[in-house]
Amino acid sequence: MQLKQPIENTLLELEAVLLQIDGKVYTTPAARLFGATIGQHVRHIVELFQCLEAGYETGAVNYDKRKRNLRIETDVLFAIQLMHEVTAGIKACDKDMTLYAGIDTEGAIHTNYLRELYYNLEHTIHHMALIRVGIGELSTLQVSANFGLAPSTIQYRKACAQ
């Protein structure tokens, strides 16, 4: 399964939208997002990918032990730079991994790198849907009708329209 291109395409789609909003929209809490900002959702996306990359060599990943880098939440260009690093850092080889949940290491689940990449892709699309809600509340920007939709939903809608 080749996931690098779909992840890159998804992050480029997000980048294109982020480049169209100003810093105020990026950092303003949105009521429809329960007070979260678009920047916080972008940080969350980036940091999950970073956790997976950091854990590749050891074979252990824990998404709950993110850095929570506030600069990602406030600096759109820095966030975009990190999204490019995420894409560049995607590994070609699958490997077995252990997923830890929570801040301790008691709950361990067997997984693999490709499965976690796929999870991160789906997770990104989910947060893009939330980002779309925030943009709708905070700006007049019109995003693509498919922004934040899973590929299977897009295919389903196309099939229904025929």
> Tens of pLDDT along 97-155?
999 987 666 679 999 999 999 999 999 999 999 999 999 999 999 999 999 998 888 88
**Contacts by 83-86, CB closer than 8 A, 24 or more apart:** 83/11, 83/14, 83/15, 83/45, 83/46, 84/11, 86/7, 86/11, 86/46, 86/49, 86/50, 86/53
Report pLDDT digits (tens) over 68-102: 999 999 999 999 999 999 999 999 999 999 999 87
Q: Do the Cβ atoms of 71 and 78 come closer than 8 Å?
A: yes
* pLDDT, position 1: 60
Partners of 97 in the β-ladder: 111
For the chain, domains (ranges, CATH) are 4-161 (1.20.120)
Report pLDDT digits (tens) over 9-51: 999 999 999 999 999 999 999 999 999 999 999 999 999 999 9
